[in-house]
Structure 1
Amino acid sequence: MTTKMSHGSTHAGSGTPHLTSGWLAFAGTLALVVGAFNVIDGLVALFRDDYYLVGANDILVFDYGTWGWIWLAIGIVQIAVGAGILTGRMWARATGVALAVLAAIGHLAFLQAFPIWSVLVIALCVLLIYALTAPPAGARG
């Protein structure tokens, strides 16, 4: 007898069966991309603060150096979470949602400094939240 596997089915073989989900593979990849974008944003804020459209006094809450460290830290953690999502870790899904919300809110504050980049990252964060919450609870990427 042969076993046919398809999207959304359970895996046959040793170990416990689990659901597969293309959404989680997409979410893991998207978390890696958003994390890389945030790392790039952080490095630019740290090393080239004259790159942004407004002065340091016009940005909400912090100066560019502080935002650079914030984006760098969030980006590195998002990359690690993306790898966790791709390996099927539930903690990574929950952390991914929380980090996507934080990044989206942070990019709202950063919107005046770099509007197109921030709108793009906010849209990707919303898509990431959906991709992490849409699959069934026991699904793996």
Structure 2
Amino acid sequence: MVDYQLEVIVLPVADVGRAKEFYRRIGFREDIDYVADQDFRVVHFTPPGSHCSIIVGKGIGTAAPGSVENVHLIVRDIEEARADLVDRGVEVSEIFHDEGGVFHHAGTEKRVPGFYPGRPSYGSFASFSDPDGNGFLLQEVTERLPGR
């Protein structure tokens, strides 16, 4: 079997400097800031504990700034993660779950305030955006299926 490891997600931004400040402020490790010329720049960040990174920059894609949605950041304790981001000056939604209980609907449709009943893994979320509007979801996962 071939292993496919998700390594990088490219996030479109309008202002690389503003994005760089934001991701540093929320505790992502800056791995590289490469500038080839005025039209090409790559800034690579890795969230704490993650094997997958993000890249922001200039001349690295054609997507509209802020057009990425639902990038999941998995955390063991969503209350702690939410408080950490708030302490770092990020506007984060209250914790919620989806009324269907399987996966969250688009936008804020069918959000129910609070933890999913019984607080099982994968059921509780909080959302925030970067300065360009790229959307993130904190998702609490405390137990995984074998083989993960």
Question: TM-score of the superposition, structure 2-length normalised?
Answer: 0.28
Greater Rg over alpha carbons, structure: 1
More helix by share: 1
Q: Structure 1 length normalisation: TM-score?
A: 0.29
> Quick one: higher RCO (CA 8 Å, sep 6+), 1 or 2?
1
